[in-house]
Homo-oligomer: A and B are copies of this chain.
Amino acid sequence: MIVNLAERAHNHNWRVDPIVRSLLDTDFYKLLMLQFIWKHFPEVNARFTIVNRTAGVKLAERVAEDDLRLQLEYVRGLRFRKSELIWLAGNTFYGTRGIFDPRFLEWLDTDLQLPEFTMTAVDGQLRLEFDGPWAQVTLWEVYALSILSELKTRAALRELSEFELDIVYARAKARLWGKIERLRGVPGLRVADFGTRRRHSFLWQEYVVRAMRDALGAAFTGTSNTYLAYKHDMEAIGTNAHELPMALAALAENDEQLKASQYHLLDLWQNTYQRELLVMLPDTFGTTQFLRNAPEWVADWTGQRIDSKDPFAAGEEYIAWLAERGRDARGKLMIASDGLDVDTILALHAQFSGVIQAGFTAQDFQRAEDFLDGRKWKPERRIRFSAGWGTLLTNDFRDCDPRRDTGAQSAFDPISLVCKLAEANGRATVKLSDNFAKANGTPEDIARYRRVFGAEGMSNQPTLV
């Protein structure tokens, strides 16, 4: 074999092996939200902070500040490429072309500049902050999270011999394919990749989505990762996230405006986007109060994403609410996106799509029946169920680490890292969510929000990933 001298020389002189290779390497909803912010809130200032909810893992001890700085600076130096902007303009998203305003794409091309970041290490944790005009700063979220996640991965990989590296990936692939085989052939299944921010690495996410598409065909509906959608001709998936209701709530001038802000957001959103993009995220301040107090037109929205409530219960709550409002749930969309794995996906699909598969256990079945309010499970579609599969799709390396015994903790275990909108125009934000453990904000602010929104339907659930 004749050595490729140019390649070898290039490889041993790399200054940086970038983690984020393109500004498209972000969740598609960030771009939809960015256009929304650019259009409606150009003057708002925002501050995002990184919080590691897995306190036991000291990130600063694993990730070198210099490496992190290098990766973040690399992203700051990136620009949307001409071909990427042309794709955003010309591609159809959810069946519609021209979702992005030409003036917005022009702004992306010439005016977008990620602001500088501030980094400090405190008690073994890295504190990373991004401050600036909301439209400039919002994209930092996913870039920073996927960079931190992959730097943690690289630190773990660095400890291993070449053979051990090979074991890690052989096992992870065997594990992935085991999951895919359980999903393959399940009628009517709809699964999308939602795993960008906590992925093992960019290349692993790319492997995973290509494997999913190859094996599942139409049942794999696409990826939230815009760059992978672009690179591999897949559907880009996603609509909106908590930062919008959180910002609008923080900007509210009094309790009444605060309570109304969650619907004001939906009103602005439906003036910007239509049809399949009308998927609400009602759990920011509690799903139950959101639904009960919602204006009539909210029931016309296409669907709901469930992100912090038990999805079996939340789906039933949504179906019952639609019935009350006289809407047919079978045309509506229900997206689960919180800590999903194969078992839950198949159980939810059984409950809401009426499909039971060979791999389905009696326990799964029982789980599904428990939520049917005494009715028997029937093989019929009750709502359009879709799974947004995140960390346990793109970062499931359990029992893959050759340095750990089965079941023990591993340096590859994902951590619950979030990058949250901390302030809008200098005012602290709050998120309550349906899970007390996921609440965010100062105790005083949380108390005020709970007073305004109540706590009906909330509970305590362990946060997995």
Contacts and interface: CB of A to CB of B under 8 A. Distances in A.
Contacts of A166: 173
A111 interface: no
Interface stretch (A91-99, A207-215, A251-259, A384-392): A207-215
A167 B215 CA distance: 11
A177 interface: yes
Q: Considering residues A170, A171, A211, which has the most beta carbons from chain B within 10 angstroms of its beta carbon?
A: A170
Given A170-B169, A173-B170, A177-B171, A163 B1 contact: no
Q: Considering residues A167, A174, A214, which has the most beta carbons from chain B within 10 angstroms of its beta carbon?
A: A174
A279 to B, nearest CB: 31
Contacts of A6: 2
Interface in A175-200: 177, 181
Main secondary structure of the interface of A (DSSP, over half): helix
Contact of A173 (B7, B167, B211, B215): B167
Nearest to A167: B177
Nearest to A184: B402
Interface in A131-182: 161, 163, 166-167, 169-174, 177, 181
A402 B171 contact: no
A4 interface: yes
Interface string A1-28: 1101011000000000000000000000
A114 B2 CA distance: 31
Copies of this chain, count: 2
Interface in A186-237: 210-211, 214-215
B215 A163 contact: yes
A169 B169 CA distance: 11
A214 B161 contact: yes
Nearest to A174: B174
Contacts of A4: 2, 4, 7
Nearest to A172: B170
Contact of A170 (B174, B181, B215): B174
A174 B175 CA distance: 9
A215 B160 CA distance: 12
A214 B163 contact: yes
Contacts of A402: 177, 181
B173 A177 contact: no
B7 A163 contact: no
Contacts of A211: 163
A286 B215 CA distance: 53
A9 B359 CA distance: 46
Interface in A42-84: none
Contacts of A215: 163
A156 B163 CA distance: 26
Contacts of A210: 163
A39 to B, nearest CB: 39
Interface string A411-451: 00000000000000000000000000000000000000000
A71 to B, nearest CB: 21
Contacts of A181: 402
Given A163-B210, A167-B177, 17 more contacts: A1-B7, A2-B4, A2-B7, A163-B211, A163-B214, A163-B215, A166-B173, A167-B174, A169-B170, A170-B172, A170-B174, A171-B173, A171-B174, A171-B177, A173-B174, A177-B402, A181-B402
